Amino acid sequence: MSWLDELFFPRRCPVCRDIVSPWGEMICDTCRKNFHLVADKGCLKCGRLLLNEEKEYCEDCMRMKRCIVRSLTGYDYRQEWVHKMIFHVKYHNERQLLDYPCSEAAHEYRDTIMRWQCDCLIPIPLHPSRQKKRGFNQAEEIARRIGEDWSLPIDTKVLIRVKKTRPQKDLDSATRQKNLEDAFTADKKRAQAYKRVILVDDIYTTGSTMESCAKALLAAGVQQVYGFALSSGRDGAS
């Protein structure tokens, strides 16, 4: 943000939402001390926070086969500040709240991302009518922030949402999968240029959305699909 932006639209802390002081910081000093990433406490497959830290995989990943090679998660969605931040980003256009959480998550996972040797980031698309109403795609906003740190380009054209689906948050696991049937397609010419890609989303719950997107990309010619979600639910959470 420029000093003029800071003057007229002062930056708010993504945790407490108070105006950040001193100028130029992205988070309050007090909130910084209570700011925790999932990091190595996540499932080694989907990245969701594990309730039992002695386990390596969540219950879902132990019982079902996934198309995604591996996914990472930034934060536990059940933390109050996380779901409030995402709400204000999506429904009040407070996109600057993403700056610090994305920066910290990108830094935490940089070494892992470099080992994956992926070609690009692919934000999970909204249906055109929903994006027109909102004015932006939150997954794309996240991808732009982490992409700068990981030096990865973003492709917003290879994956297309062709079906307007019901919001996933209101559905159980079985209905989520049915809701997403044939919801996505991929541009074959663009997809075949990539060996490995990273899907990006704001929230990972059961993984149904990422799996649906991964299937479309793999069918179009991408060789491997990874994932990153800014937040996720917990293993065993409904």
Do 29 and 40 share a structural domain?
Answer: no
Helices (H) and strands (E) in the chain, counts: 10, 6
Do 173 and 119 share a structural domain?
Answer: yes
Do 128 and 11 share a structural domain?
Answer: no
User: What is the rounded distance in angstroms from the CA atom of residue 142 to the CA atom of residue 40?
Assistant: 21
Do 168 and 55 share a structural domain?
Answer: yes
Please report the pLDDT score of residue 238 as a whole number. 41
Average pLDDT over residues 106-110: 98
User: Is residue 41 within 8 Å of 227, Cβ to Cβ?
Assistant: no
Do 65 and 49 share a structural domain?
Answer: yes
- Count of structural domains within the chain: 2
List the alpha helices (DSSP H) in 13-157.
29-33, 59-63, 80-92, 99-116, 128-134, 138-150
Confidence of residue 133 (pLDDT cuts 50, 70, 90): very high
Q: Which residues fall within 8 angstroms of residue 176, CB to CB, at 6 or more apart? A: 168, 205, 206, 208, 209
Please report the pLDDT score of residue 215 as a whole number. 97
Do 133 and 82 share a structural domain?
Answer: yes
Residue 237 lies in a domain: no
Do 57 and 160 share a structural domain?
Answer: yes
Q: Is the pLDDT of residue 73 over 60?
A: yes
Q: Is the pLDDT of residue 134 over 70?
A: yes
Q: Would the pTM count as exceeding 0.85?
A: yes
Q: Which residues fall within 8 angstroms of residue 83, CB to CB, at 6 or more apart? A: 77, 231
23-37, 138-152, 187-201, 220-234 — which is least confidently predicted?
A: 23-37
Q: Is the pLDDT of residue 81 over 50?
A: yes
Residue 102 lies in a domain: yes
Do 165 and 217 share a structural domain?
Answer: yes
Please report the pLDDT score of residue 163 as a whole number. 84
Average pLDDT over residues 209-213: 95
53-62, 63-72, 170-179 — which is least confidently predicted?
A: 170-179
The per-residue pLDDT of the chain, averaged, comes to 89
Kindly state the percentage of the chain with pLDDT values over 70.
87
Classify 89 as helix, strand or coil: helix
Do 175 and 67 share a structural domain?
Answer: yes
Kindly state the percentage of the chain with pLDDT values over 90.
68
Do 191 and 75 share a structural domain?
Answer: yes
Residue 65 burial class via C-beta count within 10 angstroms: exposed 0-12, middle 13-18, buried 19 and up: exposed
**CATH number of the domain that residue 52 is part of:** 3.40.50
Do 18 and 47 share a structural domain?
Answer: no
List the alpha helices (DSSP H) in the chain.
3-8, 29-33, 59-63, 80-92, 99-116, 128-134, 138-150, 173-179, 188-191, 208-220
Residue 66 lies in a domain: yes
Mean pLDDT is highest, among 22-36, 133-147, 166-180, for 133-147
Q: Is the pLDDT of residue 4 over 90?
A: no
